[in-house]
Amino acid sequence: MTVVAATAASLLPLAAEAGPVTRQFEFSSTAGALQFGPQIGSFTYDDAVAPVGGGYVSALGLFANLDVSFGGFSFDETTANSGWLRFDPAGVLLDAHFGNNCNAGSCTISGGASQWWIRVGQVGNSVNDFSYSGFNGEAGFRSTNLNALLPNATVPEPASIALAALALVAAGATRRRQR
């Protein structure tokens, strides 16, 4: 039992460390030349970027993974980028702004260029829109407000899984001794 307790204690710091968080979102377009029904996309960021006390993180390269597909076009973290992420005081993601023409703090669209952005967040906490130009012959700027972050679908870090497994083993060993 001492070995189990020592192993569990050595893993505790790992569970508190920052790690990757994957969020899914839903978006669609009902305006202009590019129209499609609900699509599911996702992005992964390191929760260590959340500022103490909450607020905005304006930077490129915040995504370890990005998956956005619409109207026969696909984008990932190498062909699109983050503009900003916004967190509440507890470090929970409120909203994100990203696209294929972003700078730290903003994403822009030039009429006629094949460019897009998505602003997506918790319903009631942000402006949620998919905006684009240049796709399927669209020369103007189109925007639709049909986006939402899906309920938090964070992927547990390996240390948390190891701790849970260790707790089950310890509980089983304790129960066997009581018999």
Span 92-120, average pLDDT: 92
- Asked if 39 and 26 touch (Cβ cutoff 8 Å), the reply is yes
Q: At what angle do helices 2-16 and 158-178 cross, to 10 degrees?
A: 160
Could you give the 3-state DSSP secondary structure of residue 18? coil
Q: How far is CA 174 from CA 11, 43, 69, 160, 161, in A?
A: 20, 42, 51, 21, 20
- Taking every pair of C-alpha atoms in the chain, what is the biggest distance, in angstroms? 76
pLDDT digits (tens, 9 = 90+) for 119-136: 888 766 666 788 888 888
Is the pTM for the entire model greater than 0.75?
A: no
| Predicted confidence band of residue 1 (pLDDT cuts 50, 70, 90) | very low
Question: pLDDT of 68-102, one tens digit each?
Answer: 999 899 999 999 999 999 999 999 999 999 999 99
Dihedrals phi, psi of 166, to nearest 5 degrees: -65, -40
